[in-house]
Amino acid sequence: MPKKSSKNANVDPDAKQAPSAQVVCVGEVMVELARAADGRFGLSYGGDTFNTAVYLARGGVSVVYATALGDDPYSEGIVSLAQAEGVTTDLMIRVPGRMPGLYLIETSPGGERQFAYWRDSSPARELFELPEWTSVAAALLAARTVYFSGITLSLYSNLGLGRLLATLEIARQNGVTVAFDGNYRPRGWRGDLARSRAVFAETLKRVDIALPTFDDEALLWGDASPDATAERLHAFGISEVVIKNGAKGALISAKGTRELVPVPQTIDPVDTTAAGDSFNAAYLAARLGGDTPLEAAKAAHRLAGQVILHRGAIMPRAAAAAAVH
């Protein structure tokens, strides 16, 4: 069961007995309200790295999700969903008296999204300041791969960021692969471009696989092209770069080669929510299974192409099974 927490609790004596997994995903899960075709809103749950965790689990990958939640019915719903999807919930720390964040999705006729957020008091923001943060750190050190995003970074205070980045540095020294999706959202950084760039720069020094979206990189860094993004990320020492660029395909730059992997077919999206998150999940699952970056990108395109035909972040399981086969 997920651990209970309070700010004054003692450090978990079992912190070093971290849940083992191929992948530990770190971030925030929120209540999702998405407008259906009839104009009414449906309630679900989502969050960029959580969406990836679910699709990883559906792909047969052992995955743990690290976050902080409240003790309310919506937090219970998040835990129940994770468990139903096969995502290990040991690192979903519970903070009494708190509630998760909320986001609302409005989708245009072309499938593009607009979001509104209510998340400033989300307990996920304090994950690396809670006493149980040492359990999270131990899990990162024990993982095969750690996955997080720029949205994850935007949650934390300087103290939390320092603890996360220090843990990642040690994890890499121990042979853990660090995968990162830039996923830059200016609102999450309160418009502070200088702090955003500084935090990203420190993070990129600790990354092995970069999975950014080109539009985000252009917005944050002013990159003129996916090739420019690849060059900049390699300059940080990142060996494997996969740049998502919507219908224009994905640029793979790894092991001294660079190749554009086109989408298999043009799709009119119903909802592009979690397109990048599912792409990342299929890519990492394929790489963990021994596929080449090129093969992994093709698998990632296939899954993302199915996800955007459904409303909301997490498509029905039956549709996911069809996408795999």
Structure tokens at 183: 């996923």
Strands 257-261 and 250-254: antiparallel
Structure tokens at 304: 């993302």
Q: Which residues fall within 8 angstroms of residue 98, CB to CB, at 6 or more apart?
A: 68, 69, 70, 71, 72, 121, 122, 123
Partnered with residue 104 across adjacent β-strands are 33, 116
At 215, which helix (H) or strand (E)? helix 214-221
Structure tokens at 311: 């409303």
List the one residue out of 45, 24, 26, 23 whose CA is nearest residue 34.
45
Question: Which residues are catalytic, by number?
Answer: 277
> Are 244 and 276 contacting, i.e. CB atoms less than 8 angstroms apart?
yes
